[in-house]
Amino acid sequence: DVKVTQSSRYLVKRTGEKVFLECVQDMDHENMFWYRQDPGLGLRLIYFSYDVKMKEKGDIPEGYSVSREKKERFSLILESASTNQTSMYLCASSLAGRNEKLFFGSGTQLSVL
Amino acid sequence: DAKTTQPTSMDCAEGRAANLPCNHSTISGNEYVYWYRQIHSQGPQYIIHGLKNNETNEMASLIITEDRKSSTLILPHATLRDTAVYYCIVHRREYGNKLVFGAGTILRVKS
């Protein structure tokens, strides 16, 4: 089975801090995605990557950046965390050309105080 | 991608079949129907997908009407562990097109 591992289950940070959320997948998937999930708003796509060192903006990229230096790892960076970035963050991966069959991690609940 | 309409919530007795409906009346000929579910405190999990024909796998069955304007996900013998939010998604497979998750249906399986 595909395993998508997110480094932290819960994270508490202060406003203005730089925050790194790490995601690793073990099935050699080309595609990786970062979503955030908020009550009443569903899942919203932040950034995605189709290959190493490639990245594309999703629907809500403002305030975020990403890094993909290795195929198996996709990092989400909050340059200066704000309270409105308190959310559940979900990482996903998929095979090339199969954006619709996603494998998700368990999520990181980030609280920014 | 076409919009979907699902009931907000449903209840099902343990051991009975859970039938989750989804309306997608504006679906196009090249759009697939996908189902995911999200158990509490976990990421969404792919269940099944189909284009025209009914599909079955180890998790569920998907029944798509002949006009493709609606579909039903069937969990044949629901267990308490099937309590989750179920998302019906209509998606056109083409480069750069991403899945869009709506609000889904909260299924509560009760003993």
Cα–Cα distance between A43 and B45 in angstroms, integer?
A: 13
Mean pLDDT value across residues A23-34: 94
Q: What are phi and psi of B80, to 5 degrees?
A: -60, -30
Report the candidate in B37, B23, B33 with the shortest Cα–Cα distance to residue B1. Answer: B33
Mean pLDDT value across residues B20-47: 94
| List of E strands, A1-113 | 4-6, 10-13, 19-25, 31-38, 42-49, 56-57, 64-70, 73-78, 87-94, 103-104, 108-112
Mean pLDDT value across residues A21-27: 96
Closest residue on chain B to A39 (Cα)? B103
Mean pLDDT value across residues A63-86: 97
The pLDDT of residue A2 is 63
| pLDDT tens string B73-108 | 999 999 999 999 999 999 887 766 778 888 999 999
Whether residue B63 is predicted with pLDDT greater than 70 in this model: the reply is: yes
The pLDDT of residue B42 is 92
Whether residue A1 is predicted with pLDDT greater than 70 in this model: the reply is: no
Whether residue A56 is predicted with pLDDT greater than 70 in this model: the reply is: yes
> Of A41 and A38, which is predicted with more confidence?
A38
| A4, A100, A107 ranked by CB distance to B99: nearest | A100
Give the residue from B32, B37, B46, B106 with the most A CB atoms within 10 Å of its CB, the best one to mutate. Answer: B46
The pLDDT of residue B100 is 86
Q: How far lies B69's CA from each of B9, B32, B33, B56, B86, in Å?
A: 21, 11, 10, 19, 18
Q: What is the rounded average pLDDT for all residues in chain A?
A: 93
The pLDDT of residue A95 is 87
Mean pLDDT value across residues B47-57: 94
- Using a CB-CB distance cutoff of 8 angstroms, which residues of chain B are in contact with residue A102? 36, 44, 46, 99
| B32, B45, B102 ranked by CB distance to A100: nearest | B32
